[in-house]
Structure 1
Amino acid sequence: MSQKPNIVLFVADQMRCDSLHHMGNEASVTPNLDNILEEGISFENAYCQNPVCVPSRCSFLTGLYPHTTGHRTMHYLQRHEDEPNILKEMKDNGYEVIWIGRNDVVPGDKAKTIYCDEYYDGVSFENKRDSTNNQFTPQGTSREITEEDIKDDNFYSFYIGKLKDGNGYGKQDWNCIQSALEYIDRKSQNPDSKPFFLYCTISFPHPPYACEDPWYSMIDRSLVPTRRPSIATLKDRASMLYGIESKQNLQNWSEERFTELRATYLAMVSRFDHQFGMICDKLKEHDFYDNTNIFVYSDHGDYTGDYNITEKVQNCFENPISNIPLLIKPSKHFEVKPRKTKALAELLDLPATIADMCNIELSYTQFGKSLVHVLSGDEEHKDAVFCEGGRIHGEVQAMEKGHGPTSPYWPRLSTQSSEGPEHTKALMCRMGNLKYTIRLYEKDELYDLEKDPLELNNVVDLPEYQDIIMKFKERILYYYMETADFVPQGRDQR
């Protein structure tokens, strides 16, 4: 068997940290993820660098913040072959790179040849590494949307509920898992060849909120945590949230309906957990498990009814959408103190961590910091973590236009198109138990998570916090100075 450790990245889409049972959610059923605490670590305070898909993925696959290269919108992906990416790095360093599932990184009209040895999109079981126009898109039955549909208070909620089976919506994830299992089976026939880097990134629990049995019925509705109150009842919050809440039309929902939506989301998380268990069992079956470093995480979270809002938003940073699960099960030769850790961490730390574990040098400038030292017991990793989003006035290309009222995303995307302050630039910085958000065109926010874990009271104007706010602003200035750009590798002819 190869001396270099294998790597598995098993990635959820839109999974919030507090959706896991070992993070205190009594309704959640996640035994396989909980079991990582027996031989690895789970981060309580890990944050994505942008709370929507494309910017987050471009960040955690590179170790670069979204602002560094302008990846701040769903419509700006990695267009150039010279842009850094951990998949390319691992391939160039002798790993067999297998990419399965969601893309949201490379434009659909570009092949993935330089990034991986094999790519499976979940639609078919054909290797589409050299193909173009192969975006991962959930399958479903489309029909004409009527005015009555739009007026229904369920239309913008993303709620579906119980699925008949797993052969319709959600089938692509099962296909992805099958592709991963089949690859591990094939790899076992030649275990002494290249070490493998398996990047399996699926769609659950991304809305619509829907799941089949047995997971749908597993969730005890009486244990589902109470949701955060409507944003309409809170003061001094981002105008983006007020705009979305006013348009999603959920104001008259009963708590029972919200509980059912949240339970369905937890069922989707439980199905993800089950599929992760299938991957682990297959690795153990072929004696790969002990020599494999496993990372489980999500690109960002989901409001799931908190603040009367579903889905996510691109320039707000409440914990439901910015605080994500991050679990690491290291290979056997690493020293590890299994536990939940409170160390502050960022998803963009992943490339540096992977390089450290595999004893390789990344070929480009990046801003992540290896998490290996946290495995062995360190509880201090970073003094500050960051999440960012939004645009300046006039940046039409960042509005993500093209969705009308017949799209379930219309409440968010129509608000993003406003030239008011709604979709404008903001940066969240967390240090210790304080979260500060600086906003370019509207009121800043400060939350004391020790006193206010649900982030209900913006204390930015209170006199006792003014010295702390100045420390945040100094830290943010240093952050931007250090990470605003980087000089590309290589030199151009003059």
Structure 2
Amino acid sequence: MKKNIFLFVADQMRNDSMFHMGNEASITPNLDSIVEEGVSFENAYCQNPVCVPSRNSFLTGFYPHVNGHRTMHYLHRDEPNILQEMRTNGYEVIWIGRNDFIPGDQAKTDYCDEYYDGISDENLRDEVGEGFNPQAEQNEATQKLYAKMLEGDNKYSFYMGKLPDGEGYGKTDWNCVYKALEYIERRSKEPSDKPFFVYCTISFPHPPYGCEDPWYSSIDRSKLPPRRPSVKDIPNKASMLYGINEKQGLNDWPEERFDESRATYLAMVSRFDHQLGLIKSKLKEVGFYDDTNIIVYSDHGDYTGDYAIAEKVQNSFEDPISNVPLLIKPAKGIPVEPRISKAQVELLDLPATIAELAGFELSYTQSGKSFLGAVAGSEEHKDAVFCEGGRIHGEVQAMEAGHGPESPYWPRLSTQCSEGPEHTKAVMCKMGKYKYIMRLYEYDELYNLDEDPMELDNLAVKDEYSQIIQEMKNRVTRFYMETTDFVPMGRDKR
């Protein structure tokens, strides 16, 4: 009998925002408890550090470069993906929440049996706005907070703080979770021969950093881990970071203000954890829990004040934005060694893993590898993991222009429009303790994560590391040769 599969996906959640990953200020009991019956991957990496390219990658199994997914604004039609594969192979597919995968004018129900966006009152809704717009879900009280966020030296910090309630900003996530609970209840009363596949993808802890009580007040600010120092004081980092840091203007903030922003972000993570708990409880209540594989992860991370930078960036790969949560509670009968695993895994491994859980072969060639062997106990999965982004000079379509200084996104997006080295192509290759970043138009980077977990000392500028760098370059070359293109599965009719 095929088991159910439930994907619960955060937006912009970093791996070290969970208590069981060492963050003593975090309150994530539902995520933490997964390691008692499943696996949490310590070395899970996204394939692009912003939403749209990352989601295209983990839903298809293709690296972003394969089909040119290197921008937030351009989506392709009709790429093979795990939603369609599950539907074809006998699952009832329910898509709840964020899009960031197919064009807004395309019917989501081409990919699933039911789609709910978290905004409308309809189960089947085909029209969704492009990207994430926190202003679209604000009531009067949160509108005032959003306006205050854009004042003074707070303007580009994304800090909103304590929300008056859950009825404005963040309401969409509650709608999505309640719809998921409603679906589980409905399935329990309307038995079906089909197992279910739920893709529930919500917006927290994506900035602005704002959260209601009880989560906002629950985070002990005194337990926050050390913050990574301002990038302005660190030599040999990516020019993109220097550009954003200068424009965001957070370097003069006292540590107390960063602490408030970071604590609010962790409150958003804690709210996500609470919502996961509601889903787990409902599955147990109706008797589905043992027969359901639960996979929890995020599309990418967030700087949250590290390097005196808020939000994210498209072509830098420090752990706060590339190292993501990835946890699995397998259904009964799936071999598992519960633990925190050090195996290196990638989000694009999800389609292959889901297909193996569902008992079928993917109908197309892709680059992911099922990590069920690692779930069962192996600490060897991939010798290297990759993340990539940026553009070549002249790629105006990838600049994402159009945001003026009034937008909180202006520091990043205006820097992306530079024709200097800032927004240009780069690829990260992590092998064990070393993280190497090859850059097209500026110096490379190399970090020893065991000795330098904050990624402050760029070893690529030191001659004694030339052999390690060459080995990493060789691995990147092999990576591109293995994954450069996707050959369509069918022949044209001539």
Same fold, TM-score > 0.5, yes or no: yes
CA distance in 2, matches of 1:375, 1:99: 25
Matched ranges for 1:120-159 at <5 A: 120-129=116-125, 131-133=126-128, 137-138=133-134, 139-140=137-138, 152-159=152-159
Aligned to 1:321: 321
- The alignment of Structure 1 onto Structure 2 pairs a total of residues equal to 489
Aligned to 1:28: 26
Aligned to 2:64: 66
Query: Aligned to 1:98, what secondary structure does the other structure show?
Result: strand
Query: Aligned to 1:405, what secondary structure does the other structure show?
Result: coil
Contact 1:51 1:312 in 2 (8 A): yes
Match of 1:97 among 80, 93, 99: 93
Q: Does 1:110 align with 2:106?
A: yes
Amino acid at match of 1:6: N
RMSD between superposed Cα atoms in Å = 1.7
Quote how far apart the aligned CAs of 1:483 are: 0.3
Map Cα deviations across residues 279-329 of structure 1 (whole Å, 9 max, x no partner).
Answer: 000011111111111100000000000000000000000000000000010
Quote how far apart the aligned CAs of 1:144 are: 11
Aligned to 2:477: 477
Contact 1:100 1:121 in 2 (8 A): yes
TM-score (structure 2 length as normaliser): 0.97
Contact 1:234 1:456 in 2 (8 A): yes
Amino acid at match of 2:17: S
Quote how far apart the aligned CAs of 1:14 are: 0.2
Aligned to 1:218: 218
Amino acid at match of 2:70: R
Map Cα deviations across residues 252-296 of structure 1 (whole Å, 9 max, x no partner).
Answer: 111000001000000000000000000000011111111111100
Query: Aligned to 1:66, what secondary structure does the other structure show?
Result: coil
Matched ranges for 1:412-451 at <5 A: 412-451=412-451
Q: Percent identity?
A: 69
Quote how far apart the aligned CAs of 1:224 are: 0.9
TM-score (structure 1 length as normaliser): 0.97
Matched ranges for 1:460-471 at <5 A: 460-471=460-471
Aligned to 1:16: 14
Query: Aligned to 2:25, what secondary structure does the other structure show?
Result: coil
CA distance in 1, matches of 2:98, 2:335: 32
Query: Aligned to 1:174, what secondary structure does the other structure show?
Result: helix
Amino acid at match of 2:421: P
Map Cα deviations across residues 10-33 of structure 1 (whole Å, 9 max, x no partner).
Answer: 000000000000000000000000
Quote how far apart the aligned CAs of 1:192 are: 3.9
CA distance in 2, matches of 1:247, 1:352: 41
Map Cα deviations across residues 421-468 of structure 1 (whole Å, 9 max, x no partner).
Answer: 000000000001000000000010000011101101001122331111
Map Cα deviations across residues 191-237 of structure 1 (whole Å, 9 max, x no partner).
Answer: 34210000000000000000000001110010011110000000011
Amino acid at match of 1:179: K
Quote how far apart the aligned CAs of 1:492 are: 1.8
CA distance in 1, matches of 2:139, 2:405: 18
Where structure 1 has 5 or more consecutive residues not aligned to the other structure, the ranges are none
Amino acid at match of 1:42: S
Where structure 2 has 5 or more consecutive residues not aligned to the other structure, the ranges are none
Contact 1:51 1:317 in 2 (8 A): yes
CA distance in 2, matches of 1:5, 1:344: 26
Query: Aligned to 1:492, what secondary structure does the other structure show?
Result: coil
Contact 1:436 1:469 in 2 (8 A): yes
Amino acid at match of 2:388: E
Contact 1:124 1:175 in 2 (8 A): no
Aligned to 2:311: 311
Q: Does 1:344 align with 2:326?
A: no
Contact 1:209 1:264 in 2 (8 A): yes
CA distance in 2, matches of 1:118, 1:109: 17
Deviates more, 1:466-475 or 1:41-50: 466-475
